[in-house]
């Protein structure tokens, strides 16, 4: 009885029911895992959180956890970053973020959810196309491509924290080795997510004490995911894992339209 009351008080403190708590724990673990291991895992988290918490509120829950994951990733790959490749797309990404901030503040939560689903499916389309082409996947290298990639990354990250696949295509164009890929990706999203924080606190009002409390409670879970990510990225059949995540994420995203 005492244990039951203790669990009830804990859930009441976090303002969650049991199912929501399980979803948040899974999301926190996968955030840590994605930041140091297989980046596509985050795509699964986004539509699932949106299903249980709503569109805009789900991004408020996810962003502080992403920032914790970013800090871990930046530290883990601190020796593997090319600053030119981090800063080159940033001005264009900021334009995309501004557009996303304006759109996100104008639409209803139902439209927000549909927009998240659309962006996730678009990003999955990029991943599927890249997987299908394999070594024959040719990434454009013109200036227009980098501008487009920056703007789309900014918009997608502002609306649904879903810019990973778009920015990955940009990094593929640079021909980076795995560690430099991870380091450049980590620093770019740390900067972007840090910039997004005040926008969501003061303009969207979807991040407050509750979001930070959840993130603080989930710190050990995020860290555990990050440790596993560092181990798995060296061991796992990455192609099979990506295909599994793509399939699961597609189903989760499609659910947002129902």
Domain ranges of the chain: 2-255
Q: Which residue has the higher pLDDT, 89 or 181?
A: 89
Ramachandran area for residue 188 (φ above 0: left; ψ -120 to 50: alpha; else beta): alpha
User: Which of the four pLDDT bands, split at 50, 70 and 90, describes residue 3?
Assistant: very low
In the predicted model, what is the mean pLDDT of residues 111-127? 87
177 has a pLDDT exceeding 80: no
- How much is the pLDDT for 238? 66
- How much is the pLDDT for 74? 92
- How much is the pLDDT for 8? 52
237 has a pLDDT exceeding 80: no
232 has a pLDDT exceeding 90: no
67 has a pLDDT exceeding 50: yes
- How much is the pLDDT for 2? 46
Q: Which residue has the higher pLDDT, 167 or 244?
A: 167
In the predicted model, what is the mean pLDDT of residues 28-33? 93
Which 8-state DSSP code applies to residue 177? -
Task: Work out the number of other CB atoms within 10 angstroms of the CB of residue 204.
Answer: 18
Q: pTM for the whole thing?
A: 0.86
- How much is the pLDDT for 1? 46
Task: Work out the number of other CB atoms within 10 angstroms of the CB of residue 64.
Answer: 20
């Amino acid at each position: 009885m005492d244990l039951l009351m203790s669990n009830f008080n804990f859930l009441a403190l976090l303002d969650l029911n049991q199912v929501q708590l399980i979803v948040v724990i899974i999301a926190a673990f996968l955030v840590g895992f994605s930041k140091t291991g297989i980046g596509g895992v985050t795509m699964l988290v986004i539509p699932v959180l949106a299903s249980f918490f709503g569109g805009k509120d789900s991004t408020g829950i996810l962003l502080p956890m992403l920032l914790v994951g970013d800090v871990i990733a930046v530290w883990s790959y601190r020796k593997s970053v090319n600053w030119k490749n981090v800063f080159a797309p940033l001005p264009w990404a900021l334009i995309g973020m501004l557009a996303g901030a304006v759109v996100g503040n104008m639409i209803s939560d139902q439209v927000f959810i549909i927009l998240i689903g659309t962006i996730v499916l678009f990003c999955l389309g990029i991943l599927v196309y890249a997987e299908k082409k394999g070594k024959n996947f040719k990434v454009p290298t013109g200036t227009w491509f980098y501008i487009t990639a920056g703007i789309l990354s900014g918009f997608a990250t502002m609306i649904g924290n879903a810019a990973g696949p778009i920015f990955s295509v940009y990094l593929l164009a640079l021909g980076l080795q795995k560690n430099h890929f991870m380091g450049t990706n980590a620093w770019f999203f740390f900067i972007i997510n840090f910039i997004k924080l005040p926008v969501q606190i003061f303009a969207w009002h979807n991040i407050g004490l509750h979001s930070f409390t959840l993130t603080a409670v989930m710190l050990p879970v995020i860290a555990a995911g990050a440790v596993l990510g560092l181990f798995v990225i060296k061991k796992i059949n990455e192609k099979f894992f990506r295909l599994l995540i793509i399939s699961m994420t597609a189903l989760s995203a499609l659910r947002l339209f129902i």
